[in-house]
Amino acid sequence: DQQVKQNSPSLSVQEGRISILNCDYTNSMFDYFLWYKKYPAEGPTFLISISSIKDKNEDGRFTVFLNKSAKHLSLHIVPSQPGDSAVYFCAALYNNNDMRFGAGTRLTVKP
């Protein structure tokens, strides 16, 4: 039962342009959403999060948008840099229990 879905396995953008990574979820009880960044052979690292009572959270070049009615969230990276190339995982929390992850999207930022 995949409650968190990232339908795009990969995304390629040019340096300096915007990267938009998408995530959909099915469980309306999720109350917190997070994005993680993962480099090869390393553990994921926390990037940014958003509470279900908000629709936007911004941290530097990273902004997460939440559309609860559509059960959809997205991560915007502006401007994209080559060092942003990694796999990005969307995750969701319900009632402070274990986290559910999407399948990940591999972002490649070309110089």
Partner 1 sequence: SQTIHQWPATLVQPVGSPLSLECTVEGTSNPNLYWYRQAAGRGLQLLFYSVGIGQISSEVPQNLSASRPQDRQFILSSKKLLLSDSGFYLCAARLGALSYYGYTFGSGTRLTVV
Note the residues at the interface with partner 1 (CB under 8 A). 6, 9, 32, 34, 36, 41-46, 49, 51, 89, 91, 93, 96, 98-104
Q: Which is nearer to partner 1, 14 or 45 (CB)?
A: 45
Q: How far is the CB of 20 from partner 1 (least distance, A)?
A: 19
- How many other β-carbons are positioned within 10 Å of the β-carbon of residue 88? 23
How far is residue 70's CA from residue 26's CA, in Å, rounded to a whole number? Answer: 10
> CA end-to-end span of the chain, whole Å?
38
Q: How far is the CB of 89 from partner 1 (least distance, A)?
A: 6
